[in-house]
Structure 1
Amino acid sequence: MRFARIMTLGAALRGFALLTAVALVAGPAVGVTEAADKPASEATTMLVGEMCGGCVKRIEATLTPMDGIAKVSCDIPGKSVTVWPRSSTKLSPKALWEAMGSIGKTPKRLSGPSGTFTEKPKS
């Protein structure tokens, strides 16, 4: 019985050490982008009707190469797309709305530093 307790404690300590090592190695490197330091208030969030893995690929392929965009993040359960601008850049709500519309994902709502829109913005 004593031997079994020692083995269990040893296995637990090894598991904890492994998890700690993975967290220390992977933690800082995961998701480090120019947008990571930006406050959420600079981000633009768009709600769409439906979203799947294929939609995410199309959205990222369309928005990521656009001028001024630092990061694109899609939330499938939340049916939302969040876009962060590069430094000293203000994203055009109209350009984002049109880009989403070009792939069949017209936003139901777009919210960002320029305001909240439920119809295509004028600028």
Structure 2
Amino acid sequence: MLSLSRRTGLVAGVVLMVASVLTASVASSAEREKTNTVMTVGEMCGGCVKKITKRFDGVEGIAKVQCSIEKQSVTLTPKDRVRLSPKGIWEIMESIGKTPTKMVTPEGTFTSKPKK
């Protein structure tokens, strides 16, 4: 009987540990999304994806660039503890001929070029 109780306690402990790790991963992912910059552009093709990815891969502070042809969007994930400049990002997009129609950042939502 004691053996069954110990096993039950061990299983419960493992379940709690796994649950806390999963919760931390979800929270970390949600926190990371709050720092992302998401831009919507008018049109996007495979060539646009290559051009956008190549341009942002060279920008210091950007950890990841994701483009979606279906959603016509670009998502920039900054490196830890980095805040991307909305104006700077907008200007980079303009420099490659892809003016955003909407940009959502931690600093706010923009439908025209940000002041900062």
Normalising by the residue count of structure 1, what TM-score does the alignment of the two structures yield? 0.68
Structure number with higher helix proportion: 2
| 2:45 is equivalent to residue 52 of structure 1 | yes
For residue 65 of structure 1, the aligned residue among 21, 46, 58 is 58
| 2:100 is equivalent to residue 83 of structure 1 | no
For residue 94 of structure 2, the aligned residue among 76, 96, 101 is 101
- Runs of 4+ in structure 1 deviating by more than 2 angstroms, as ranges, are 36-39
Structure 1 pair 67–37 and aligned structure 2 pair: CA distance change class (3 A):
farther
Partner of 2:34: 41
Give the counterpart letter for 1:110 in structure 2: M
Per the TM alignment, residue 112 of structure 1 is displaced from its structure 2 partner at its CA by 1.1
Give the counterpart letter for 2:113 in structure 1: K
Which ranges of structure 2 fall in alignment gaps of 5 or more residues?
1-28
Which ranges of structure 1 fall in alignment gaps of 5 or more residues?
1-35
Structure 2: how far apart are the matches of 1:39 and 1:74?
17
Aligned CA-pair RMSD? 1.4
Normalising by the residue count of structure 2, what TM-score does the alignment of the two structures yield? 0.72
Per the TM alignment, residue 39 of structure 1 is displaced from its structure 2 partner at its CA by 2.2
Partner of 2:115: 122
Query: Secondary structure at 1:111's aligned position in 2?
Result: strand
Per the TM alignment, residue 107 of structure 1 is displaced from its structure 2 partner at its CA by 0.2
